[in-house]
Every structure is written in structure tokens, then in C-alpha cells.
Amino acid sequence: MRAAGLGWHSVGVDELFLFPSAVARDPAVDAWFAAPDHELRRLAQPWFDEIRGCGPDVRELMHDGHPTACVEDAAFAYVDAFSAHASVGFFFGAALDDPAGLLEGGGKRMRHVKLRWGKPVDAPALRGLIAAAYRDMRARLG
């Protein structure tokens, strides 16, 4: 059953990004990380591994060309790689506490953290955001 009444960041079931085709381990996700000549994907891989480890109900798939993670079938996080950076994104990132100021973006819900070669990321803070995004989606699902 899906929860309602989560305060200012509550959304209806119809506002969750649902992927019934998500699976426990999608070979297409592993293939995306293994693609040659895409070094920035390697920068994102340990963070997707962190996302995968959030709980036994984490499922994954490729969506819009990038690895996406769900709690059951509700998307909560993704990674992507571009020409100059990689990113770890959160579908409800605007609802997350971010005391380290890692999150970027100004959309209604989504936020992301940029990863760049040679620029260390605050790993404990990013791990905290990943865990918080997972807990947030668990609460939304009830």
C-alpha cells in the first residue's frame, strides 16, 4: 500500500515514477558501466553500487539511457555520465536535507550531485543523501 500524508513533500501514487519492469540486477546496467571509452561512467559506478546496497527491495533498470534504481518499482536514484562530469541524481532530491550543500538543480523535485575527476566529493555526505533518498521513498510507499 502506498502512503499519503507525508507533509509538504507528499505526492500521490500517480506522481511517483514507477517502473514495473525493474529487476534485482539488470545486465544492461552492468553493460553500461563496462562500455569502453566511457571513463566517467567508472566514476559513477561505486555510487550506483552504494545505491544497490540500500536494501533488499532495490530494483534497477536502464531508463533514458542511464542506470536507474527503484524501491520496489518506484524510482529514487540514478547515475549518468556526460562529457565533463558524472552525476548521482535523486528523483525527490528537493525533499532531502543537504547540510553539506552537494545537491544541485532547481526543478520541482529532482536534484543531483556532480562528480568530476580530480575533485573529491564529500563521500560521507553523498552516502547520507543516498541513504536518505532510499528511506524517503520507503516512507512514500508506506
Domain enclosing residue 109, as ranges:
12-141
Q: Tell me the whole-structure pTM to 2 decimals.
A: 0.90
Assess if residue 47 is contained within a domain. Answer: yes
Look up the CATH number of the domain holding residue 111.
3.90.1150.200
Say how many domains are in the chain: 1
Assess if residue 64 is contained within a domain. Answer: yes
Q: What is the pLDDT of residue 34?
A: 96
Assess if residue 118 is contained within a domain. Answer: yes
- Per residue in 22-74, pLDDT (tens digit) is 999 999 999 999 999 899 999 999 999 999 999 999 999 999 999 999 999 99
Q: What is the pLDDT of residue 3?
A: 35
- Per residue in 74-124, pLDDT (tens digit) is 999 999 999 999 999 999 999 999 999 999 999 999 999 999 999 999 999
Residue 10, pLDDT > 90, answer no
Q: What is the pLDDT of residue 15?
A: 82
Assess if residue 4 is contained within a domain. Answer: no
Q: What is the pLDDT of residue 11?
A: 54
Tell me the C-alpha to C-alpha distance, in Å, between residue 19 and each of 60, 73, 84, 90: 9, 5, 29, 15
Cβ atoms 77, 88 nearer than 8 A: yes
Q: Which amino acid is at 56?
A: P
